[in-house]
Amino acid sequence: MTDASALYQLKGLSKRYTRGKETVAIFDGLDMTISQGDFIAIMGPSGSGKTTLLNLLGGIDKPSSGEVVFEGQRIDNLSQGRLAKWRAKNAGFIFQFYNLMPTLSAAQNVELPLLLTSLSGKARKERVKTALDIVGMVDRAGHRPGQLSGGQQQRVAIARAIVADPKVLLADEPTGDLDRTTADEILQTLQLLNKELGKTIIMVTHDPEAASYAARELHLNKGRFEEKGKA
């Protein structure tokens, strides 16, 4: 099963945790294909394994069995060091609570992933400016996270996620901590990144309205996906 347009292929993916004597399977033999340029919203009850799935896709966690194939190459069997390099190159992460470094300015936060590249200081500055421009935060470049609102912090976090030009953005409840209006702005930004820049986005959310921005909605329940047709 090879698909030229597939960015990800999950093959027989299982993730089990042992709690005491009990073994709990979060997924058991999950198969799934994610195409290049897709925008997927993953929904599902709390504890259904949404974050676990993102961690597997993002090379943060390893499956108990099965394969995670990215652009035709398995990433589930890479060493920690190689996974770190893979993440730096291919994946951008967006969190519910932004996770910006409190001691760094917005621009410095955005620059962080570029420290892992061989770009010159000048080239890095330009990239940072472009990324901040895309999320509309250039005028706050010098501000520290503590001086920014939640929505603004999330914009900076998105800039950080895209600055190294990764193929996929993994977002875990990116609007979970924001009010409706701000959430909509953030979601529009994500949609723009998907449509204009062709970024593949996989977004976990509890919010059906947020999910409606995605091209595809998947419901995770008891280790299985149910696809919902878009209204």
Partner 1 sequence: MNDATLIRKNLFRKRLRAILLMVSILVAFLIFGVLGALQNAFTAGTGTAAQERLVTVNRINFTVALPYAYWGRIQQVEGVRNAAPASWFGGYYQEPQNFVQSFAVDPETYLEAYPNEIVLPPEERAAWLEGRTCAIVGRALATQYGWSTGDRIPLMSNIWQNTDGSQAWELDICGVFDDTEGTYPTNYLMLHYEYFNESLAFGRDSFHWITINTTDPALNDQVSQEIDALFANSSAETSTTTEAAFNEAFMEQFGNIGLILTWVIGAAFATILMIVGTTMVMAVNERTREIAVLKTLGFTAPRIFRMVLWESLLLSFLGGLIGLGLASLAAAAASGALAGFLPSFGLSLTNVVTALVLMAALGIVTGLLPAYNAMQVRISEALGKI
Ligand X SMILES: Nc1ncnc2c1ncn2[C@@H]1O[C@H](COP(=O)(O)OP(=O)(O)OP(=O)(O)O)[C@@H](O)[C@H]1O
Segment contacting partner 1 by CB under 8 A, of 20-28, 80-88, 147-155, 185-193: 80-88
Total binding residues toward ligand X, as defined by CB under 6 A: 10
Cβ neighbours of residue 187 closer than 8 Å, sequence gap 6 or more: 174, 175, 210, 213
Residue 51 or 205 having the CB closest to partner 1: 51
Are 13 and 68 in contact by the 8 Å Cβ rule? The answer is yes
Phi-psi sector, 158: left (phi>0), alpha (psi -120 to 50), beta: alpha
Burial of 2 per CB tally in 10 Å (0-12, 13-18, 19+): exposed
Residue from 25, 32, 78, 104 binding partner 1 (CB under 8 A):
104
Residue from 108, 130, 182, 191 binding partner 1 (CB under 8 A):
108
Q: Beta-strand (E) ranges in the chain?
A: 6-19, 22-35, 39-43, 65-70, 73-74, 91-94, 168-172, 200-204, 216-221, 224-228
Shortest separation between residue 46's beta carbon and partner 1, angstroms: 13
Give the torsion through C-alpha atoms of 118, 110, 51, 195, to 10 deg: -90
Residue 33 or 150 having the CB closest to partner 1: 150
Segment contacting partner 1 by CB under 8 A, of 35-43, 87-95, 132-140, 220-228: 87-95
As a whole number of angstroms, the distance between CA 103 and CA 51 comes to 27
Residue 47 or 81 having the CB closest to ligand X: 47
Segment contacting partner 1 by CB under 8 A, of 32-40, 76-84, 180-188, 189-197: 76-84
Residue from 10, 38, 43, 51 binding Mg ion (CB under 5 A):
51
Residues of this chain that bind partner 1 (CB under 8 A): 51-52, 55, 58, 60-61, 80-81, 84-89, 93, 95-97, 99, 101-104, 108, 111-113, 115-116, 160
